[in-house]
Structure 1
Amino acid sequence: MTKSGKKKSPLVADKRYSRTVAKPAAKKRAPKRKARVTKKKRGLIGTLLFPFTFLARLAFGFLWRITAVAALIVGAAVAYTATQIPPVEELIDGRTRGSVTFLDQDGLVFAWRGDQFGGPISANAVATALKNSVVATEDKRFYWHLGVSPRGVASAVRINLREGRGPLSGNGGSTITQQTAKLLCLGVEFDPERWKSETEYEADCRRGTIPRKLKEAIYALAMEIRYTKDEILTVYLNRAYLGAGARGFEAASQRYFGKPAAKVSIPEAAMLAGLLKAPSSYAPTNNLQRSRDRAATVLKLMREQGYITPTEEAAALAAPAGLSQVAQDQAGGYFVDWVMDTTPSFLARDTTEDVVIRTTFDNRIQKATEDALDYVFENKVREGSLAQAAIVVMSPDGAVRGMVGGRKAKVTGAFNRATEAKRQTGSAFKPFVYAAAMDFGFQYDSVVEDAPVCLNVPGSGEWCPKNYSRTYEGPLTLTSALAKSVNTVAVKVSEEVGRDNVRRVAEEFGIDNALADGPALALGASESTLLEMTGAYAGILNGGRAVTPYGLTEISLKGDNSPLMGQNGGYGDRVITPQAAEQLIYMMSRVVNSGTGARAQIAGREVAGKTGTTQAARDAWFIGFTSNYVVGVWMGYDDNTPLTGVTGGGLPTEIFKETMVRVTEGIPAGPLPMIRPARPPQVSPPIPEQVGRPRSQNGNGRPRSDRGSTAEEIILDVLGRLLGR
């Protein structure tokens, strides 16, 4: 072994392991796998239902989004509408036309027309029973809902479907708020260019279509935001229509009970609330018992909801509400309609103000007239007869005190046979022939022969009038001829005086119709109304002055003491002289005392008048008077069917008597303003060549009277005239 100076490393084996065992390097962890979800098998049913459930989930998701959007839109619409609604005070009286209140001759209210509004009331000022009855009847959850009641709508739909109607037909389930929205027409005001009438406007406002219902709901919700519950109820109480032209509960309370809404009793409150369902049908003036039956239902609802006790309900049922005397009478329907027609339209039918009209109407006389007509038809006309009748009662100055235009007296807007029916007058026209004769110079005792007469009528040939009796009596005084209603004498006198003069006298007395041109003029071939004829007879009674029948004496605005217009009487110009009128009245008194009008005699009273029967008895008349009143009666059929067994001297005369007896009850009897001969005129032996003409002519060619051939007769006649005056 050589030594080199370097020390060689020992030969040892390599250390293959260290003293500490090294940990093996950590393996990289594999990413954690997601748990594998094993889908549950749907099965057969699931597979079948899958399309439906999928669609349901899709629809739900779609609907809730649509609902959310719709809710936002509705909310915005409600909020906007609430800002547009005016203050409550501007919504109280929403009438588009005013009312007309009628006062009788004593200043008492007896009728209304138009939209009657009694004045503003509030929900807190009316009687508690009235407020409770309205809520109990119309909307028992009024104070809890937000303006719309889904429960009420659902209940109404169910009832409608069960009763065979459409879901929105019949019961509407509307809350009081919704009903108020309808009354306000959802804020749309009446426009005469869009709607022809208020009725059409209201019908449009109450349409039940789905779009309309949605608008109504929005408006109702807006009202709930804008107003308090009592403010909404206040508008409702003032706006609701309750029949008989009454707008609002104040007007209805005054109309039916004659008292303010603050003082109605429980039964009266129930009756008023019951009108809301069907105002015209349940109006107590139409059918009191039906109105009471409806009120009983309201009382039951009030008791069930705790507004009244069972004891109060029983008491109200035992003593139901009744009408005031004015409401019971329903007086003067025909009279009121006539006054409305003769009053300027802007102050009557088309008024936008509340108007008060004072009239000549006498409620006592009206009732007497209606009672007389009922008595005759019940006792002297065969049962089932369709004959009609009309009556006018008038003062000598033309003031109409009572009027019946048909057998059914308590009506409004009905055909008025006293003012609208133009009928042939028959012999009731003859006094105008004799009036012309008296003014022409004839006298009450002038003599004309009752004998056949024939006249040539151009275009018609020969015309020969005949008497009703078909007999002829020879020479007759004018008094006898009128008393017996002799046709030949009337025609001869008319021809002698001149038809133009007869026509003039009739027209000046108020017969405002086309009068016949031919000789039949004298026999009443012309037409006239009962009102005109009665007015013409009033002109005879008052001494020969024409009158214009009138019913209005004063018209003013409600609350204004200064009248807009007035009338103190109907006197016109003089038609015949007072002396002629006195003779004519005497002649007409003989019609009643000994002629065709004998049934008109009234014990203790002087009566004058004239009967009238037209061809084939299609019309029967009697018009007469005492010193106080003129009463005109017409009887006939509306279709011109001939009357059976009726003439002017029959039933019309009896109706006159029954009317006049009642009208003059308690009134002292007064004398008629007529001449008073010592005895009825007699026919002296006629001079042959003068028969058929007045007895003698004066120098001017005008007829004059030859009242007798002895001085004794002349003296007696003069004394009779003096004593009679």
Structure 2
Amino acid sequence: MTDSSKRKRPLVADKRYPSKAKTGAKPAARQAAKKPAAPKKRARKPQRPRRGGIIGFFQAIIGWVLRLIWKITWRLTAVAALILVLAVGYLYTTLPPLEALLDGRARGSVTLLDRDGEVFAWRGDQFGGVVTAASVSPHLKNAVIATEDKRFYRHLGVSPRGIASAIRINLSEGRGPLQGHGGSTITQQVAKLICLGEPFDPGAGITEQEYEADCRRTSIRRKAKEALFSMAMELKYSKDDILSIYLNRAYMGGGAYGAEAAAQRFFGKPAAAVNAAEGAMLAGLLTAPTTLSPTNNLDRSQDRAATVIRLMREQGYLTEQEAAFARANPAELSEAAEARAGGYFADWVMSTGPEFFTRNTTEDVRIRTTLDQRIQTAAEEGLKWVFENKVREGSEAQAAIVVMSSDGAVRAMVGGRKTKVAGAFNRATQALRQTGSAFKPFVYAAALDLGYSPNDLIVDEPYCLNIPGSGEWCPRNYTNRHYGPVTMTTALMNSLNIPAVKISESVGRETVSHVATQFGIRNDLAAGPALALGASESTLIEMTGAYAGILNGGSSVTPYGLIELTLLGDDEPLMGTGGGIGERVIQEDAAGQLVYMMEKVISEGTGSRAQFGGRQLAGKTGTTSAAKDAWFIGFSADYVTGVWMGYDDNTPLTGVTGGGLPTDIWRETMSRVHEGLPLMPLPMTNPDPASGLGEVQGSRPIPVGNSGGSIIDQVLRDIFGGGGQGSNAPAPRAGDR
């Protein structure tokens, strides 16, 4: 019996390592189900071996810090970018339509026209109308870009390169980083011009000037908001839209806001027609519009324009030939611009017009005035000639001139020796000065209106009055002499003081004051007997207007310069003439006789230096006590002119009386005014030689009979030694000169 049929026992090795063949599929599946296979691990990159020791420790610390910074930085950057996008987006939604940003003035403008309809002055914030980057002259557009922002069409509203360059320049010049050069793009400047979208609120408790100053602060916070606003504008508007806003809102000096107003103001042409030199001058004004304004300093403005032309050449906007031509032919001012805003006359018209349409207007207004630019030039040249030829060099004496028609229409006004000014003290309208003997015609006007005659006699002799509270007052003639019985004509002709006081006392001071007031002297008049000698104060324009009333036949006038006020774009005027002839003050016959007496002042008396051209002229000299004021006011048949001379601080004039330098100024002015005008007779009434012949003694007229003019001639010949009224030889002059 063999052992082959017996079951073989498993080997130990089999138990330890069971063969695959004996391992069934099902147990393998069960095992797989019970214990899933582990996923394969990703192969790691081989790491650099860490350096040990102290160096390795610090490297690990630095690496950790850098990783932390990076994680914080990109998160902060992401948050900042999100905030930036939200801020710009919000500002984008607040931006108004383009049209609302083109005219940024809070106030309106006033354009003044002369009697012929020609522009001679501007006031207020002048705006010439909307222009666009496409409608202005290419020279102006290129000049602005070359000067203000040469990378304008390539940035997104902010130029980091420009800011960095500005900071570097400021630091190198010893200023703070934000002081001086700003590095602002045109877009940023527009953001400032519109005050970052914050309109002026009159109820905010600050003035408009304070509001504008706040808009232009250069703090870091303000600059940051300005940058955001600029980027929002770049999204909202096109580049040319932004440039159009700039060209319309930028202040360019001389009261002109925007390119159109500046072109009209300085060159008398639209912004679309300016040449390269003119465009360069306008662009140059943007840096410092007041300082560089050509109406302030034309040479400085031309120098700045030359720099702009160089920049335009360097940036390819001009050829070398074009640049050379522009430099050789710099921009010049128009005639209206040379007048420097109309001077004293324009200031006066603005002060007399309605405030809501002149000084504080929010509308664009056109005012047609009475100014005659030919006569204005004559007055300025006459004043200049006398001071250059007859006044010592270095004298600080001042003078003023007013020329008007007999109805009170002011044709010219000079308020001081510096004629090319605006906003200056106007001695023709603002200076209250004692009138001296220039007041005497109103004394004689009162007498003539009461029936006195130019031939009535007054005894020129020592004369005193007892003034309650002041004691005895004794007037004296300028020569300290007395001339006995003289006619009223002779007394006025030679400006005798005692006869004037006697007549004033005779007709009554109240009557004299009433006549003077009705003729237009509005200021308080002296209450005592010195009233007759011009102790009261008045302005030159009031006195000249009062004399115009004598010329026109005895009716009062209100001096005026405004003829018509119209809103720009309207055809119908809002208001008309603000003055003219008023009520009658004295009878026409009395006015004619007074003109006759005043004609003798020039033809034979103290005003003889006023004669020119064989014309009939009438007037009156005036000198105050201590010669602090000297006057000459007179007229032809065409015009009335008043001249005042003196010192602003009331320093006495040396060797000057009304019959001297003021008369010279009057003659030089009136001779120029009357060039080319025909000779016209004065509207004077010659007194009947048989009329009057009364004598005024003390305070009441006493008739002396009706003996005829020969008696008067005989009396005057006895007094003056052959120099009577009918004589060609003038009587000795008394009173003021």
Query: TM > 0.5 between the two?
Result: yes
The answer to whether residue 605 in structure 2 is matched with residue 595 in structure 1 is yes
- The equivalent residue for 1:97 is 107
Deviation sequence 1:61-113 (CA, Å, 0-9, x none): 54443333222112101011111111111111121111111111111111111
AA at the equivalent of 2:95: I
SS in 2 for 1:193: helix
In structure 2, how many angstroms separate the alpha carbons of the residues matched to 1:448 and 1:392? 34
Q: Is the 8 A contact 2:565 2:576 kept in 1?
A: yes
In structure 2, how many angstroms separate the alpha carbons of the residues matched to 1:200 and 1:94? 16
SS in 1 for 2:204: coil
Shift of the 251–162 alpha-carbon distance from structure 1 to 2, 3 Å rule, reads same
In structure 1, how many angstroms separate the alpha carbons of the residues matched to 2:358 and 2:16? 123
Deviation sequence 1:202-233 (CA, Å, 0-9, x none): 21211111111111111100000001100111
Alignment of structure 1 residues 662-677 onto 2, 5 Å: 662-676=672-686
AA at the equivalent of 1:708: G
1:129 is matched with which residue: 117, 124, 139? 139
The answer to whether residue 282 in structure 2 is matched with residue 282 in structure 1 is no
Q: Is the 8 A contact 2:502 2:697 kept in 1?
A: no
Shift of the 709–173 alpha-carbon distance from structure 1 to 2, 3 Å rule, reads same
In structure 1, how many angstroms separate the alpha carbons of the residues matched to 2:80 and 2:710? 110
In structure 2, how many angstroms separate the alpha carbons of the residues matched to 1:249 and 1:484? 60
In structure 2, how many angstroms separate the alpha carbons of the residues matched to 1:314 and 1:644? 55
- The equivalent residue for 1:375 is 385
In structure 2, how many angstroms separate the alpha carbons of the residues matched to 1:665 and 1:215? 64
SS in 1 for 2:638: coil
- The equivalent residue for 2:717 is none
- The equivalent residue for 1:410 is 420
Deviation sequence 1:484-537 (CA, Å, 0-9, x none): 111111111100110000000000000000001011111111100000000000
2:270 is matched with which residue: 260, 279, 304? 260
Shift of the 377–22 alpha-carbon distance from structure 1 to 2, 3 Å rule, reads same
Shift of the 501–62 alpha-carbon distance from structure 1 to 2, 3 Å rule, reads same
The answer to whether residue 247 in structure 2 is matched with residue 246 in structure 1 is no
- The equivalent residue for 1:113 is 123
2:241 is matched with which residue: 202, 227, 231? 231
State percent identity of aligned pairs: 62
- The equivalent residue for 2:51 is 39
AA at the equivalent of 1:447: L
> Relative to structure 2, which stretch is displaced further, 52-61 or 388-397?
52-61
Q: Is the 8 A contact 1:448 1:693 kept in 2?
A: no
In structure 2, how many angstroms separate the alpha carbons of the residues matched to 1:348 and 1:287? 27
2:335 is matched with which residue: 322, 325, 340? 325
Shift of the 587–50 alpha-carbon distance from structure 1 to 2, 3 Å rule, reads farther
Shift of the 568–515 alpha-carbon distance from structure 1 to 2, 3 Å rule, reads closer
AA at the equivalent of 1:145: H
Q: Gapped runs of 5+ residues in structure 2?
A: 4-8, 20-42, 715-725, 727-737
Q: Is the 8 A contact 1:444 1:479 kept in 2?
A: yes
Shift of the 373–43 alpha-carbon distance from structure 1 to 2, 3 Å rule, reads same
CA drift of 1:693 comes to 7.2
- The equivalent residue for 1:708 is 709
Q: Is the 8 A contact 1:425 1:526 kept in 2?
A: yes
CA drift of 1:656 comes to 0.4
Q: Is the 8 A contact 1:442 1:705 kept in 2?
A: no
AA at the equivalent of 1:212: R
The answer to whether residue 520 in structure 2 is matched with residue 510 in structure 1 is yes
Shift of the 369–23 alpha-carbon distance from structure 1 to 2, 3 Å rule, reads same
Q: Is the 8 A contact 1:449 1:692 kept in 2?
A: no
In structure 2, how many angstroms separate the alpha carbons of the residues matched to 1:432 and 1:164? 69
TM-score normalised over the length of structure 2: 0.88
SS in 1 for 2:547: helix
Alignment of structure 1 residues 482-521 onto 2, 5 Å: 482-521=492-531
In structure 2, how many angstroms separate the alpha carbons of the residues matched to 1:40 and 1:515? 110
SS in 2 for 1:143: helix
The answer to whether residue 393 in structure 2 is matched with residue 393 in structure 1 is no
SS in 2 for 1:396: coil
SS in 1 for 2:395: coil
CA drift of 1:326 comes to 1.4
In structure 2, how many angstroms separate the alpha carbons of the residues matched to 1:59 and 1:405? 74
Shift of the 491–151 alpha-carbon distance from structure 1 to 2, 3 Å rule, reads same
CA drift of 1:330 comes to 2.9
Q: Gapped runs of 5+ residues in structure 1?
A: 1-6, 10-14, 26-31, 699-703, 714-719, 721-725
AA at the equivalent of 1:70: A
2:218 is matched with which residue: 208, 215, 227? 208
What is the RMSD of the two structures over their aligned residues, measured on CA atoms? 3.1
Deviation sequence 1:547-599 (CA, Å, 0-9, x none): 00001111111111111111286001111111111111111111112211111
How many residues align? The count is 689
SS in 2 for 1:358: strand
- The equivalent residue for 1:528 is 538
- The equivalent residue for 2:703 is 697
Deviation sequence 1:443-473 (CA, Å, 0-9, x none): 1111111111111112211111111111111
CA drift of 1:168 comes to 1.2
The answer to whether residue 461 in structure 2 is matched with residue 451 in structure 1 is yes
Q: Is the 8 A contact 2:262 2:282 kept in 1?
A: yes
1:554 is matched with which residue: 564, 571, 574? 564
Deviation sequence 1:388-412 (CA, Å, 0-9, x none): 1110000000000000111111111
SS in 2 for 1:620: strand
Q: Is the 8 A contact 1:534 1:632 kept in 2?
A: yes
AA at the equivalent of 1:39: R
Shift of the 417–8 alpha-carbon distance from structure 1 to 2, 3 Å rule, reads closer
The answer to whether residue 646 in structure 2 is matched with residue 636 in structure 1 is yes
CA drift of 1:262 comes to 0.8
Shift of the 257–707 alpha-carbon distance from structure 1 to 2, 3 Å rule, reads farther
In structure 2, how many angstroms separate the alpha carbons of the residues matched to 1:207 and 1:40? 58
Deviation sequence 1:609-640 (CA, Å, 0-9, x none): 11111111111111011110000011111111
AA at the equivalent of 1:697: P
SS in 1 for 2:401: strand
In structure 2, how many angstroms separate the alpha carbons of the residues matched to 1:360 and 1:474? 47
In structure 1, how many angstroms separate the alpha carbons of the residues matched to 2:80 and 2:526? 77
Shift of the 256–383 alpha-carbon distance from structure 1 to 2, 3 Å rule, reads same
The answer to whether residue 473 in structure 2 is matched with residue 472 in structure 1 is no
